[in-house]
Structure 1
Amino acid sequence: MSRGGEHLKDEGSKTQVVTAGAIAGLIARFVIAPLDVVKIRLQLQTHSLSDPLSHQDLRGSPIYKGTLPTLKHILREEGITGLWKGNVPAELMYVAYSAIQFTTYRSVTLGLQGIFEDHQLPAAAESFIAGASAGAMSTTATYPLDLLRTRFAAQGTERIYSSLAASIHDIARNEGPKGFFQGLGAGVGQIIPYMGIFFATYETLRRPMGNLQLPFGSGDATAGVLASLVSKTAVFPLDLIRKRLQVQGPTRLKYVHKNIPVYKGVFKTMQSILQKEGTRGLYRGLTVSLFKAAPASAVTMWTYERVLRIMMDMEMAANGP
């Protein structure tokens, strides 16, 4: 709904917002699952492709060079299902994450609007605070599922966990509760600026672009793509560090990359990567991450807006004129 061309952030009931957010996350996750697996494989690859490699350096690890070759490698070695490894915990994570994200964003925004009734708070600041709060809340709540997604996606032909239930039991028994939250510091440290920058950029671009009829999509979707590209690039090193920390533990040497070093803590991990792999090491998988971020954000925001509008129209029709 709009009034005088201006988007109202409090549109839709809480149930409608939760449902629309969940559906948007579910659809977006399935679409970009193969790119997500490729990104994780590249992020966990520690050896530099520009340096001479010995058998000892690789220890049986595959060599991935770029997005398409990595896709072909996975298809050849693991089959089509290899591109959707970790999709079950990822789907659960995306549904819960999206629902919590949109709900928190809506609640914080309404709270800020209630505090600053005279609209003294700039729109960009409002969007940043709401986005950062939503990101921190949803990241923390769904982090165990994120860790499981990474571990399943990192599995090669050797099966480490037989099922989702088995993985939860194995981690709880061998690593304890903290095993489900390895790398959480990097996750929260990443998501706060990411979501703040994303929502601030999205809200800034959505209004002037919202009514544009573009040949490759709606203005809302395009604003989502641009906002995602900017924010994803800004925080990518923390995303990579999070992945490296998530595969630490007793199963570390069993993943497709069998030469993953031991990492402890966000700053020590960053220091180790810089020393051994250089600055480029912090950006492994950035290209495919940007390719993934664009359709994921576009599908998420486009689906959310449309599903919410459909539910609101159905409610109006049911209530009559």
Structure 2
Amino acid sequence: MVGYEKDDILSPNQKLIAGCVSGCVTRFITQPLDIIKLRTQLQKKPATGNRRFFPTTRAILKEEGVTAFWHGHNLGQLHSILAVSSQFYVYELTTKYVMNTIHPDNKGFFLFFCGIFAGCCSATLVIPIEVIRVRQMLVKAQYGGILSGARRVYASGGILAFYEGLGASLLQMGPSCGISFGVFKFVQPLILEYVAPKCQGEHCVHSTSGNVYKPEYVLLASTAAGSLAGFLAKTFTYPFDLAKRRLQISSHKEDHKAPPPPSARDLIRCHNLLECLIMTAKKEGIFGLYRGWTITSYEHNIRSGCLFATYELICYALREKKAYHP
């Protein structure tokens, strides 16, 4: 189970390892969708309507080739490992404090804020990497590797350029993590209770490790609960995600020696969070705040389901190993 559990035999450090591995696996699977989502969020609306999932995908394939779907992947792996592991680790520590000190009647309220706090800590930690990564995903030739990309970002706006979109990131990641963890902790046990009764009695082969359900049931429940949690979290916080991306390229300067591909030209930029939200609503309508939401919801459903399922299965395996091979 995500978060602190009194009888869990795993330590916070072991759960940190599970978070690192789950972040790595999830990033590799969802990177192509992340590329398409980013291009959709930043494109100016053409006169004939939005460029949606399939047109954007075809354009990237035609203009840049299949490897373009993994532009910025190395940095994305670093970003994902740090983001996911920090979220789960901070959530573990804060929920432990809440469970041991807060009155049961108030625990639900404080557990939600544990998720918000975990999301804010994660957002602050990884935003410099995220800024470099977003620009690499747009213009790989200009931002190159991690060090050259960092130099380019610094040259475009100094040290503050690495924190472009921080306000939007905090407003998006904090509530998003709070909703994700809250929904997952509520829904996963319900699914497990429905599809698989608790293992009880002398025939329960997993009881010594603390794993009370078989791994296939854990996989099913975690994937379903994680997907639902991701969908709800992203839907409620999406306008801030859109603004964050547009703020993160505000100081980007095109280099004629490394021109962007056609699908990454004429991008929308913002310099202020409130201005960005108001401008988007005025120019594109209220639905403009959900530009690219369709592909984003696909990506986040897959990412969240994969993330929670991988995390739970790794924790499951670590419990088994610790119980039978201490």
TM-score, scaled to structure 1: 0.86
TM-score, scaled to structure 2: 0.85
Alignment equivalent of 1:108, drawn from 80, 91, 94? 94
1:311 Cα deviation from its structure 2 partner: 1.4
What does residue 205 of structure 2 align with? none
1:212 Cα deviation from its structure 2 partner: 4.4
> In the aligned structure 2, how far is the partner of 1:19 from the partner of 1:193?
24
1:250 Cα deviation from its structure 2 partner: 4.1
Q: Which secondary structure state, in structure 1, belongs to the residue aligned with residue 139 of structure 2?
A: coil
> In the aligned structure 1, how far is the partner of 2:15 from the partner of 2:254?
39
Alignment equivalent of 1:140, drawn from 104, 124, 130? 124
- Closer, same or farther: CA 14–257 of 1 in aligned 2, 3 Å: same
What does residue 67 of structure 1 align with? 53
Alignment equivalent of 2:225, drawn from 223, 226, 237? 223
What does residue 282 of structure 2 align with? 275
1:10 Cα deviation from its structure 2 partner: 6.8
> CA offsets per residue over residues 46-98 of structure 1, 9 Å max, x none?
224546xxxxxxxxxxxx72212221221111111111111111110110111
> In the aligned structure 2, how far is the partner of 1:100 from the partner of 1:283?
28
**2:162 is equivalent to residue 180 of structure 1:** yes
User: Does structure 2 retain, via aligned residues, the 8 Å contact 1:252–1:260?
Assistant: no
> In the aligned structure 1, how far is the partner of 2:52 from the partner of 2:316?
39
RMSD (Å) for aligned C-alpha atoms: 2.3
> In the aligned structure 2, how far is the partner of 1:187 from the partner of 1:252?
24
> In the aligned structure 1, how far is the partner of 2:268 from the partner of 2:295?
23
Q: What letter corresponds to residue 149 of structure 2 in structure 1?
A: S
What does residue 322 of structure 2 align with? 315
Q: Which secondary structure state, in structure 2, belongs to the residue aligned with residue 210 of structure 1?
A: helix
> In the aligned structure 1, how far is the partner of 2:253 from the partner of 2:311?
38
**2:266 is equivalent to residue 259 of structure 1:** yes
Alignment equivalent of 1:121, drawn from 106, 109, 129? 106
**2:192 is equivalent to residue 207 of structure 1:** no
1:155 Cα deviation from its structure 2 partner: 2.0
User: Does structure 2 retain, via aligned residues, the 8 Å contact 1:37–1:83?
Assistant: yes
1:128 Cα deviation from its structure 2 partner: 1.0
Count of residue pairs the alignment pairs up: 299
> In the aligned structure 1, how far is the partner of 2:273 from the partner of 2:57?
29
> In the aligned structure 2, how far is the partner of 1:113 from the partner of 1:302?
24
- Closer, same or farther: CA 78–162 of 1 in aligned 2, 3 Å: same
What does residue 82 of structure 2 align with? 96
> In the aligned structure 1, how far is the partner of 2:127 from the partner of 2:110?
25
